C-alpha cells in the first residue's frame, strides 16, 4: 500500500464514514455530501496514485476538501518512480509534398489520398496504403501554421 493511499484511508477512517475493504479497493460514505450508504470508492493505480470515485457524482476536489487533504497528497512523493510512457510525436514535415515524398520512399505509391483545403490553402493531407495482408497504413499530414 502506497503512502498516498495510507494518508487518504487515515483521513476517511476517523470520520466514521464506514470504511470497508471492497474487492481490490475500499468503500466509504462520501464526506462531500450527505450519504446514507457507501458511494465513495477508493483505489490505488498501478503508479501508486490514489483513485477516488463518488458514485453520486461528487468531484474529487470536493472530496479532498471535506477530508482536508490536498490534491498533491493523492500521489506518491517518490520521484524515482518511472514516468508514464508517452507516444513520441511523429516526424514533422514543412509541406504536404515533402510528407508525400518521404512516405512514398518507404511505402511506395499510395492506394488513395485525400487533400483538404480551406480558402484555397492546403490544410491537410491523408494518404492510405492497402497492404497485402488486408490491413491499411494511413498517414495524415497537417502543415505547420
In a domain, 91, yes or no: no
Total of domains in the chain: 2
Strand order in the sheet with 136-141: 112-118, 121-130, 136-141
Q: Are 21 and 30 in contact (CB under 8 A)?
A: no
Give the DSSP H or E segment for 98.
Answer: helix 96-107
| Residues 57 and 118 both lie in one domain | no
| Residues 60 and 107 both lie in one domain | no
| Residues 64 and 122 both lie in one domain | no
| Residues 19 and 54 both lie in one domain | yes
pLDDT of residue 13: 76
Residue 109: which pLDDT band, with cuts at 50, 70 and 90?
Answer: very high
| Residues 105 and 57 both lie in one domain | no
Q: Are 31 and 15 in contact (CB under 8 A)?
A: yes
Q: Bridge-partner residues for 121, per DSSP?
A: 118
In a domain, 118, yes or no: yes
Containing structural domain, residue 35: 3-74
* Domain-terminating residue out of 16, 43, 74: 74
| Residues 64 and 9 both lie in one domain | yes
In a domain, 86, yes or no: no
| Residues 70 and 123 both lie in one domain | no
CA-nearest of 114, 129, 36, 47 to 80 is 47
Asked whether residue 58 carries a pLDDT value surpassing 90, the answer given is no
CA-nearest of 11, 25, 5 to 66 is 11
Q: Are 79 and 6 in contact (CB under 8 A)?
A: no
pLDDT of residue 80: 46
Percentage of the chain beyond pLDDT 70 is: 87
- Per the model's pLDDT, the better-predicted residue between 142 and 132 turns out to be 132
Task: Tell me the pairing of strands 121-130 and 136-141.
Answer: antiparallel
pLDDT tens profile 28-57:
888 888 877 888 888 888 777 888 888 888
Percentage of the chain beyond pLDDT 90 is: 8
pLDDT of residue 88: 52
| Residues 116 and 61 both lie in one domain | no
Amino acid at each position: 500500500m502506497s503512502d498516498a493511499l495510507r494518508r487518504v484511508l487515515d483521513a476517511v477512517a476517523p470520520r466514521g464514514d464506514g470504511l470497508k475493504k471492497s474487492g481490490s479497493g475500499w468503500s466509504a460514505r462520501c464526506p462531500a455530501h450527505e450519504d446514507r450508504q457507501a458511494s465513495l470508492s477508493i483505489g490505488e493505480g498501478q503508479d501508486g496514485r490514489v483513485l477516488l470515485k463518488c458514485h453520486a457524482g461528487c468531484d474529487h476536489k470536493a472530496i479532498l476538501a471535506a477530508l482536508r487533504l490536498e490534491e498533491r497528497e493523492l500521489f506518491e512523493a517518490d520521484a524515482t518512480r518511472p514516468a508514464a510512457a508517452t507516444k513520441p510525436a511523429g516526424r514533422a514535415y514543412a509541406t504536404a509534398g515533402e510528407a508525400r515524398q518521404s512516405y512514398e520512399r518507404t511505402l511506395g505509391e499510395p492506394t488513395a489520398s485525400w487533400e483538404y483545403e480551406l480558402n484555397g490553402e492546403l490544410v491537410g493531407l491523408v494518404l492510405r496504403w492497402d497492404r497485402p495482408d488486408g490491413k491499411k497504413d494511413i498517414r495524415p499530414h497537417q502543415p505547420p501554421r
